[in-house]
Structure 1
Amino acid sequence: MNISQLQKNQHLLLRAGFGSNLSQIEKLESLTVTGIWKNLSANYSFKPLELKALPENLDYQKLAKLDADSKKAILQKNRKQNQEINLKFLKEMVHSEDQLREKMAFFWHGHFATRTQNSQFNLQLLNTIRQKALGNFGDLLTSVSQSPAMLQFLNNQQNKKGHPNENFAREVMELFTLGRGNYTEKDVQEGARAFTGWSFQPDGTFSEKPKTHDSGTKTFLGKTGNFDGNDALQIILDQKATSKFIVTKIYKFFVNEKPNPSIINHLSDRFYASKYDIKDLMTEIFTAKWFYNEENIGTKIKSPIELMAGIMRTLPMKIEKPENLIVYQKLLGQMLLYPPNVAGWPSGKSWIDSSTLMLRLQLPQIWSGLRPLEFAPKSDDDVEMGMKNAQSNFKNFKNANIVIDWDSVESVYKNKKVSDYLLQNKSSLSEKTVQEFSNASVKQRIINTMSTPEFQLC
């Protein structure tokens, strides 16, 4: 397959962001990947997500003392604010000029997977991840590890001298840094001792409690000393296995599900030597010639969020009931703020089953108002954010009340071959199908193209 400049440009925009918007489409064919990368990697000012009202802190000790109505009101406010955080994060993915930051934040959001009802903790962690997404991995790791959302999710408040809770130490090594096989059970035990006393105040402020910290000598990953949590994290970062684990995961997310051992080794050495500079790593990946090789283009299945955000960038739309977008996240299997477990979301072919594939293919038609939504949430799903009664609520759900600005879309695409701009992989698209598309209106061609299996790939 001959890789065109247009494909290369789209490849970079899809992988380093959430695809091209209408303003980029008009001149996309004439741009260079160097110019696009310069724009993607520019130093934009960071804008934290903010809620309409101050987050309601879930102090469970105080909550237990409240009457049923007061407790219900606080929990309901948290659910609504979690919905607000979800939708504002999605909005940034769709509309932010700082696409690289939001794509990296989306990656870290799945890597450092947490789940909490506390909207204050969710907002704090998400803004931390967004702010540090392209900075130093060690700084990001420390900030996330000391966040109330993570400490609560992995039970480190219960990690005390004499009664260590190993959950936090184990997951930090297994899922966030080293990966399995690069530490022992003894390291988990000693690491847990180092993290004793790490906790947070009711307002979410990180705190170290000397009375519950084990100040004894520990032997952790081959080093011996009176280590605390910060020492333990630094020892983890000193291991080259940490660099390789992170680079491998980033490569699989941004480049290809099948890692290239020689490239991984090279990138890992560079990442380690840079003292974990994330932006340097991403720059090397996205400016490398091998990134634009045929085997890396149009071979990755879009996650549900990537699919939704990509359509929303391609088709400018007014959404009357944006909260209903959370229903689509649930139906497609990826709700922001609600990973399935501490390992985060799966990837690749795990996104596709009989029900999700049909909805994926029909989504452009549903959002365009050409067909109704005929899928319902699974009744046995345990879902937060006010969606626990999704089965009954769904009866009143029609669609997100979307109005697409087709005039703007058609003006941009009227003299363009739609499939060249919307599909990265057309290997299985039949000539008959292409001919049918070409005979339709611009609007219908776009909807038809987005409704193909090939559109599920990026």
Structure 2
Amino acid sequence: MSNARNIKHLYARAGFGIRFEDLHDHENWSANKAVRKLFKASADIHPITILTENIDLRPQTNKTDEEKIRIQEERNTQDKALNLAWITQLSTTDAQLREKMTLFWHNHFACNIGNAYYEQQLNNIERENALGNFKTMLLQVSQSPGMLQFLNNQQNQKGHPNENFARELMELFTIGRGNYTEHDVKESARAFTGWAYDGKTGDYTFRPKAHDDGPKTFMGQTGNFCGEDIIEIIFSHKKTAEFISTKLYRYLVNDVPDAEHISQMANVFYKSNYEIKPLLEFVFQSNWFYDDKNIGNLVKSPVEFLTGLNRQFYITYQNPDVLMQFQRTLGQLLFRPPNVAGWPGGKNWIDSSSLMYRMKMPSIILNAGVIDFTGKVDPGDEAYLASVRKQQMNVIKRVQAQPNWNKFLKEIPEDTSKIQIAEFMLEPKLNPAVIAQVNQAANIKDTIIQIVSTPEYQLC
């Protein structure tokens, strides 16, 4: 297998794809060197700080209906600003690996509340720890106002334990179903009583009076456990390393788990005391990561799909609201996971209607909605041309997206064939249908629009 293909695959999985000029610069690198460079580019942390006011911390007074409507409008404005700040960062950052992993943790720690300021805070916790220590991240996430509110730990008090957070901590965040009992959930909930945030400051606070300090028996151990003790016990079980490794394998390698490879990953993760960087280095430097069966076999999430397009074609949006419309249409609106388990991912991203939207979207963004499949239009067909022009004007007015075609086309070496372009743009190996389609295209621009409008472009 060519080195270029390996580098392309690495960037598709550890980031959001690679551009022509970067592949040309990097194709002689070893995989290890490329991995080092990816980590180096992601060493700096760029938190999102678009929101500076927490609306929930305003003095609570009896509000008129008009004031309530105005506050809701402010919340909507904050939601939109946060979403667009992150999709912009995903689309422009050099720290691809950090943002790719922040996207993973965003879904792993799914949280959907009506406070964008707390969501920004949680997003920055995930970004800061995305390549750091999983245990540290889990503790910070667990003590964040967003998660305490979302999983009802604000209401978890001595004598009236709320089991919601304790259950999801084990089922979704750490060890997975089948590795704990209902009794463990109840005892764990007691240990997390008193974990809360201050409604006046928005800061985490431990409330000793609300905490149940009696003895608890959890996973076979007994003591006056608090929340930190529970987390330590959960992490002492290797099943936690296996659970996270399985999820990461499905995100980065293959949707069909490979028990042997996941076991290797879990060993690395467990022995490093849950450091994320050594685990990712192990995956990206393993020969099996570059096996044919692991290339071009994952369905891009809607955000990966949009981000990849934006990065590849240097797209700017005069009407950024359209980016949220695209996310909604494709079924992944950032900061709005469908439930506590997050987006299911994998083949769940694609059904007949979403595939139709996905295949149409590149032509909408790149060419005002037109895919010229033949490259030959009868110049005498005025009615057809008029309808195309009208359609294009409608799309241009609505979408207002500007790809930088000059910059994109300048990166392609002059002697590159249409087939070579298709091989670069698509992760799966070319099939006869794609080859026939590409060969029919009238020019390079039409070739590229046809390539990104294929089902194969949905894979990475």
Q: TM-score scaled to structure 2, two decimals? A: 0.90
Report how far residue 223 of structure 1 moved: 0.9
Report how far residue 404 of structure 1 moved: 1.2
Distance 1:396 1:408, change over 3 A: closer
2:46 aligned with 1:10: no
Residue 407 of structure 1 is matched in structure 2 by: 406
Task: Decide which of 308, 332, 348 is 2:346's aligned counterpart.
Answer: 348
Residue 277 of structure 1 is matched in structure 2 by: 275
- Code of the residue aligned with 2:446 in structure 1: it is Q
- Asked whether the 8 Å contact 2:4–2:23 carries over to 1, the reply is no
Distance 1:272 1:100, change over 3 A: same
Residue 287 of structure 1 is matched in structure 2 by: 285
Distance 1:450 1:429, change over 3 A: farther
- Asked whether the 8 Å contact 1:16–1:100 carries over to 2, the reply is yes
Residue 144 of structure 1 is matched in structure 2 by: 141
In the TM superposition, 1:39-438 aligns within 5 A as: 39-42=37-40, 44-51=43-50, 54-59=52-57, 63=60, 65-202=62-199, 203-371=201-369, 399-413=398-412, 414-416=414-416, 417-430=420-433, 431-437=435-441
Report how far residue 196 of structure 1 moved: 0.6
Residue 451 of structure 1 is matched in structure 2 by: 453
Structure 2 CA distance for aligned equivalents of residues 129 and 196 of structure 1: 24
Aligned residue for 1:58, secondary structure, equals: helix
- Asked whether the 8 Å contact 1:56–1:77 carries over to 2, the reply is no
Report the aligned-residue RMSD. 2.0
- Asked whether the 8 Å contact 1:105–1:129 carries over to 2, the reply is yes
- Asked whether the 8 Å contact 1:63–1:71 carries over to 2, the reply is no
Structure 2 CA distance for aligned equivalents of residues 233 and 219 of structure 1: 14
- Asked whether the 8 Å contact 2:269–2:279 carries over to 1, the reply is yes
Report how far residue 22 of structure 1 moved: 5.0
- Asked whether the 8 Å contact 1:372–1:399 carries over to 2, the reply is no
The unaligned stretches of length 5 or more in structure 2 are: 372-393
Aligned residue for 2:399, secondary structure, equals: coil
Report how far residue 266 of structure 1 moved: 1.6
- Code of the residue aligned with 2:326 in structure 1: it is Y
Percent identity, aligned pairs only, is 42
Structure 2 CA distance for aligned equivalents of residues 292 and 63 of structure 1: 57
- Asked whether the 8 Å contact 1:79–1:117 carries over to 2, the reply is no
Structure 2 CA distance for aligned equivalents of residues 22 and 326 of structure 1: 28
- Code of the residue aligned with 2:398 in structure 1: it is N
Structure 2 CA distance for aligned equivalents of residues 228 and 13 of structure 1: 42
Structure 2 CA distance for aligned equivalents of residues 56 and 429 of structure 1: 55
The unaligned stretches of length 5 or more in structure 1 are: 374-394
Aligned residue for 2:367, secondary structure, equals: coil
- Say which is worse superposed, 363-372 or 299-308, in terms of deviation: 363-372
Structure 1 CA distance for aligned equivalents of residues 69 and 235 of structure 2: 43
The answer to which structure, 1 or 2, has the higher relative contact order (CA under 8 A, 6+ apart) is 1
Task: Give a deviation string over 1:355-388, Cα, whole Å, max 9, x none.
Answer: 1101111111000233289xxxxxxxxxxxxxxx
- Code of the residue aligned with 2:105 in structure 1: it is W
Structure 2 CA distance for aligned equivalents of residues 131 and 69 of structure 1: 39
- Code of the residue aligned with 1:33 in structure 2: it is A
Structure 1 CA distance for aligned equivalents of residues 61 and 106 of structure 2: 30
- Asked whether the 8 Å contact 1:147–1:204 carries over to 2, the reply is no
Structure 2 CA distance for aligned equivalents of residues 45 and 364 of structure 1: 31
Distance 1:20 1:250, change over 3 A: same
- Asked whether the 8 Å contact 1:94–1:312 carries over to 2, the reply is yes
- Code of the residue aligned with 1:247 in structure 2: it is S
Report how far residue 16 of structure 1 moved: 0.3
- Asked whether the 8 Å contact 2:269–2:275 carries over to 1, the reply is yes
Residue 388 of structure 2 is matched in structure 1 by: none
- Asked whether the 8 Å contact 2:438–2:450 carries over to 1, the reply is no
- Asked whether the 8 Å contact 1:161–1:214 carries over to 2, the reply is yes
- Code of the residue aligned with 1:424 in structure 2: it is E
Task: Give a deviation string over 1:163-213, Cα, whole Å, max 9, x none.
Answer: 111001000000000100000000000000000111101232101111111
Structure 1 CA distance for aligned equivalents of residues 175 and 284 of structure 2: 24
- Asked whether the 8 Å contact 1:197–1:209 carries over to 2, the reply is yes
Aligned residue for 1:219, secondary structure, equals: strand
Residue 383 of structure 2 is matched in structure 1 by: none
Aligned residue for 1:27, secondary structure, equals: helix
Structure 2 CA distance for aligned equivalents of residues 147 and 185 of structure 1: 25
